[in-house]
Amino acid sequence: MPLSVVILAAGQGKRMKSEWPKVLQPLAGRALLKHVIDTARQLAPEAIHVVYGHGGERVREALKSESVSWVLQERQLGTGHAVRQALPGIPDTHTVLVLYGDVPLIRCDTLAKLLKLSDAKTLAILTIMLADPAGYGRILRDARGRIRKIVEHKDASKQVLRVRESNTGIIAAPAKLLKKWLGEVNNNNAQGEFYLTDVAAIAAKAKFKVVPLLALTEAEVLGVNDKVQLAQVEASYREQRARALMLAGVTLIDPARLDVRGTVIAGRDVELDVNVVLEGKVTLGDRVRIGPNCVIRDCEIGADTQVFANCVLDHANIGSSCNIGPFARLRPGAALARGVHVGNYVEVKNTRLGAGSKANHLAYLGDAVIGKDVNVGAGTITCNYDGVNKSQTYIEDGVFVGSGSMLVAPLRIGARATIGAGSTITQDVPADKLTLARSRQVSIDSWTRPVKPKKS
- Which residues carry out catalysis? 361
**147 close to 211: Cβ distance less than 8 angstroms:** yes
What DSSP letter does each residue of 364-420 carry, written as one string? Answer: EEEEEEE-TT-EE-TT-EEE-B-SS-B--EEE-TT-EE-TT-EEESSEEE-TT-EE-
Q: How far apart are the first and last CA of the chain?
A: 93
276 by Cβ neighbours in 10 Å (0-12 / 13-18 / 19+) ranks as buried
All residues at 6 or more sequence positions from 84 whose CB lies less than 8 Å from its CB, including other chains? 182, 194
Name the 3-class secondary structure at 173: strand
Q: What does the alpha-carbon distance between residue 139 and residue 269 come to, in Å, rounded to a whole number?
A: 47
> CB neighbours of 176 closer than 8 A, spacing ≥ 6?
92, 93, 120
DSSP codes of every residue in 350-369: EEEE-TT-EEEES-EEEEEE
- Helix, strand, coil proportions of the chain in percent (round to 5)? 20, 35, 45
Question: Which of these, 211, 191, 209, lies nearest to 139 by C-alpha position?
Answer: 211
Instruction: State the Cα–Cα distance between residues 395 and 384, nearest whole angstrom.
Output: 13
